[in-house]
C-alpha cells in the first residue's frame, strides 16, 4: 500500500457493524457535535449506517426518501421535524448535501474525502471511494509538486441506466 493510500480516510461503510453499534455510533456522532441523541435524530442517522439498504441512491437520500423509509420502519416522524433535523445536521457537517438542477437535494453521512458521481438524468448519487483517486492525487503531486489538504469531487453525468436509454 502506498503512503497516499494509507493517508486516505476509510468510509464508514468499509466495516460491518451490528445494529447496537450503529446506534452507538450515531449517538457518538451527535454528542461529538454537541447535540442530544433524540430518538428522531438517531432514527435519521441510522438510515445512513452500513447495511441499512438505502437503495438506488446508494448512500444518499432525499428528505422525502428519509420520511418514507422511516415510515416503512414504523418511525412516524413529521416531515417538518425531518427537514429541521437534516438541515441542522448538514449545517454542522454531520450530513453532506448534493444539490443538482431539477432534482431534490440528497443527503448522506459526511466523511472526510468523500466524492460523488451524480446522474443528471435520474438523480442517483454514488459515492466514489477515495482509494479510486489515489493515482490521480499521486500524478498531481508528481507533476506539480502540489499537495492537497482538502479534496471534494462531484462528477456529473449519466449513470449506466440513463446512458443506455
119 known member of a binding site: yes
41 known member of a binding site: no
159 known member of a binding site: yes
37 known member of a binding site: no
Q: In which residue are the cell numbers 458521481 written?
A: 117
Question: Which are the contacts of 93, defined by CB distance < 8 A and separation ≥ 6?
Answer: 33, 110
Q: Is 124 exposed, middle or buried (0-12, 13-18, 19+ CB in 10 A)?
A: buried
DSSP 122: T
CB atoms within 10 A of CB 108: 22
Going by the annotation, the residues of the binding site are 119, 122, 159, 162
Going by the annotation, the residues of the binding site for Zn(2+) are 119, 122, 159, 162
Amino acid at each position: 500500500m502506498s503512503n497516499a493510500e494509507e493517508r486516505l480516510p476509510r468510509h464508514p461503510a468499509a466495516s460491518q457493524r451490528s445494529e447496537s453499534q450503529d446506534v452507538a455510533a450515531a449517538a457518538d456522532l451527535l454528542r461529538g457535535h454537541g447535540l442530544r441523541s433524540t430518538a428522531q435524530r438517531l432514527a435519521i442517522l441510522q438510515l445512513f449506517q452500513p447495511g441499512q439498504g438505502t437503495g438506488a441512491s446508494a448512500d444518499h437520500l432525499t428528505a422525502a426518501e428519509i420520511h418514507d423509509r422511516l415510515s416503512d420502519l414504523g418511525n412516524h416522524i413529521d416531515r417538518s421535524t425531518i427537514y429541521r433535523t437534516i438541515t441542522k445536521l448538514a449545517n454542522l457537517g454531520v450530513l453532506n448535501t448534493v444539490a443538482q438542477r431539477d432534482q431534490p437535494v440528497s443527503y448522506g453521512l459526511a466523511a472526510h474525502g468523500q466524492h460523488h458521481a451524480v446522474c443528471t438524468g435520474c438523480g442517483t448519487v454514488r459515492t466514489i471511494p477515495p482509494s479510486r483517486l489515489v493515482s490521480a492525487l499521486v500524478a498531481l503531486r508528481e507533476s506539480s509538486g502540489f499537495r492537497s489538504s482538502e479534496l471534494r469531487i462531484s462528477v456529473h453525468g449519466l449513470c449506466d441506466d440513463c446512458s443506455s436509454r
